[in-house]
Structures are given as C-alpha cells and as structure tokens.
Amino acid sequence: MDEFVSQKGLVFETPDLRSLEDRKNRKITILYGETYDEFGNTIDSMKYYLFLANLVDVLKSRGFETDARVLVADTAAVRNADDSKKEKVLQLGKQRGEFVERVRQIYNCNFRVQYMSEFIESEDFKKTFRQVKEICFANEDLKKMVRDSVPPDRLHKSEQNEYQYSLEEISTITGLDIKVGPPRERLYDGIANIVAERLGKQKLLPIYLTMSQPLGLQFDFFILNKDLEEYGLTPYKADSKGLLANRILPGKTTPEYARKIIQESFISNNPELPNPVLDMAMIAEMARQRLEGNIKPITFHSQFYGGKISSDDLKQLAAENVRKYIIDKFQTNSIMDSLPLF
C-alpha cells in the first residue's frame, strides 16, 4: 500500500493509511469529485479516474471492501453559472458523466459515477449541510477558512449566498474515508476534518496527486507564471487559465497535435520544477496497465531524474503511449470531433 500511494511523479502528498485497518469492518468510502467546463474532457481528469481505480484494486487485494465514486459536481457547477446558462451547464455535466462512464468501461474500473444533483436535495444531505454551516459560522477562524476557499473573482457572489458552494463541497466530503484530489483542495479537506471531529465522524484521509501543467511551453512561460508552479492548472477544466491549446482532450485532440505539444514542452532535470511530459507518461502508463490487467508502481520519475531516461526518450515514450493507450481508445467517427479545438 505504502509503495502505491507514494509513487513519485504521480502522488503529491499522502496521509498515513494505517488507520484504515481500524475501519476494516465496513466498506471504505472513497471519492474523487470534479466540475467541468464547456471545452471538453481532459486527460488530466483521467489521471484521477485511473488512480482511483488502482487504489480500489490495491485495497481489495488487502481485504478491504470499498464504495468508490467519481462525483460529477453538476450542482456545484451550476452555482457558478449565469442564470441563462444553467440548463447548458447541467447538460455539460451529463456529458462529463458519460465520459467518466466510458473510461470506467474501457479500463475496467471498479467505481461508480454519481451526480451531485442526485443527492443534494436528500434529507440526509440537508441535515449535514445545516450542521456544517452552523459549526463553520459559529467560529470566526473556521468562517475565515471557508471565505479563503473562494477564488477572489467569485467572492462577492459567494458572500451574497453565504458561501453555499464551499459549504456544499465541505458537506459532501465530511465523514468520508478517503478523498483523491489536487493539492489545491487542501483547505476544503482541512475544514471537513475539523467539522468531522466535532460531529464525531471519522477523519478524512486525502490523497493529493501531482499538479496538472500545460504542454507545449518553454521555461520562460513558467518563470512569468509562478502560480502554475504553486497551484498548477485545474485538472478537470480544459480551458483553465486560458491554456486550452496546451491540453490533451481524449476524443478531440489528434495524435499528431498531442505529439507536437509534447515534443515542444520544456523539461528540466530539476524534480522541483513542473514536468508535464512526465505527467503524460504516468497517465498513459496507468492506462496501459489497466488495459493489460497488471497494476504496479510506476518508476518513470526515478528513471528520468536518475538519468536512465533522456528528455527525448521521455517525450517519445509519452507521445507514443498517450496515442496508443488513450487517444486511440476515444476516436470517433466524426472528423470534427477528433480535431483539437484550437
């Protein structure tokens, strides 16, 4: 287990999972949740789906029963949409769910797809939401943490509706066993664990995967955009930071374009700097392993930074495997659907 959840180049941070042994008398609940945008489904989202599926298999091999979900947070996406676009946003959520389901089938993943709209109006959720809100609003430090979880450009709207989006997110994860997500979700998870302790629920164990980075860019771009090094791109939004042209979208991006932006990507020998090519190689390797039914820790990080794989070889490996194990699996009959959006 430790070797799997500490794979360099894939896992950014992991908790001590030994406490799961005390929870072996019931199913372990695991969640990865995401919103989306209108531009397509990202290969970066697949990193989370495939890792989640691998985690389920590893836990099963150690005698755990699991209930693993990919949550399409359609309701949350609607909260941030203009009234005129809400129906379209809900439809986009259905399309994202269909993509996740397709990934589940192609790669034989043992998780279920769920929409936030399926449970948010339930009495159980409403009760949890009321408890979370009461606890957070009764403590100034917690309330500040909730406020800090809101991006600056959404703060005014969020204050008007009493941070509903953030509180719904926190309510969704409070009381779970494991959550997989990007490092930017630390604040949500920290609040959820404070609330869980006060409600007498088990502690959430978050596993953070490495940050998503844009392809096809040189070192000077990262120097001028320091926030990418600190936060990365939003993995599940194709046009995050306006960098749609630097993402791979299964079902849309051609193999030729994917190869082009992989080959044009800057790679440093410093493991502290972004390496989007290594990220692509890791995702494609997870895809290959699941297709072949042979799950094991991936060692590309140590091979590359240890000098056993050159930059050119890593780019070749990433481009070929992304094509073979991912892009080719999502090709459509429509020429337009297979073209990049840029």
pLDDT tens-digit series, residues 10-38? 999 999 888 898 888 899 999 999 999 99
Do 233 and 325 lie in a common domain? yes
Q: Mark whether 269 and 150 lie in a shared domain.
A: no
CA dihedral 272, 55, 298, 281 (to 10 degrees): -70
Give yes or no: residues 174 and 236 share one domain: no
How do residues 297-330 score in pLDDT, each as one tens digit? Answer: 999 999 999 999 999 999 999 999 999 999 999 9
Same domain, yes or no: 48 and 188: yes
Does the CA dihedral 210-327-318-273 come out positive or negative?
Answer: negative
Q: Are 160 and 227 found together in one domain?
A: no
Q: In the structure, what pLDDT confidence band is assigned to residue 335 with cuts at 50, 70 and 90?
A: very low
Residue with tokens 């042979």: 294
The reply to whether 278 and 302 lie within a common domain is yes
Residues 157 and 247 in one domain: no
pLDDT, residue 244, reads: 97
Cα separation, 329 vs 106, in Å, equals 8
Measured in residues, the chain has a length of 342
Instruction: State percent of the chain over pLDDT 90.
Output: 79
Is residue 214 assigned to a domain? Answer: no
Which residues does residue 201 pair with via DSSP β-bridges, in sequence order?
none
**The two three-digit tokens of residue 173, written as one number:** 């994860």
Please classify residue 140 by burial: count the beta carbons closer than 10 Å to its beta carbon, then call 0-12 exposed, 13-18 middle and 19+ buried.
Answer: exposed
In a domain, 338, yes or no: no
pLDDT above 70 (res 340): no
The residue ranges of DSSP E strands in 82-188, in sequence order, are 112-115, 178-181
On whether both 236 and 158 belong to a single domain, the answer is no
Domain boundary (169, 191, 209) is at: 209
β partners of residue 32: 70
pLDDT confidence band for 331 (50 / 70 / 90): confident
Q: Is 59 domain-assigned?
A: yes
Together in a domain, 25 and 91: yes
Token output for 316: 């070749």
Which of these, 101, 90, 109, lies nearest to 50 by C-alpha position?
109
At 332, the pLDDT band (50, 70, 90 cuts) reads: low
Asked if residues 7 and 298 have their Cβ atoms less than 8 Å apart, the reply is yes
Q: Looking at residue 339, what is its pLDDT?
A: 45
Count up the domains in the chain and report the number.
Answer: 2
Q: Which range of residues forms the domain containing residue 197?
A: 4-209
Q: What is the pLDDT of residue 21?
A: 87
Structure tokens at 10: 């894939």
Gap between the Cα atoms of 326 and 148, Å rounded: 37
Better-scored residue on pLDDT, 24 or 251: 251
Same-domain status, 121 and 267: no
**Is 336 part of any domain?**
no
Beta sheet of 112-115, edge-to-edge order: 11-13, 205-209, 178-181, 28-34, 66-72, 112-115
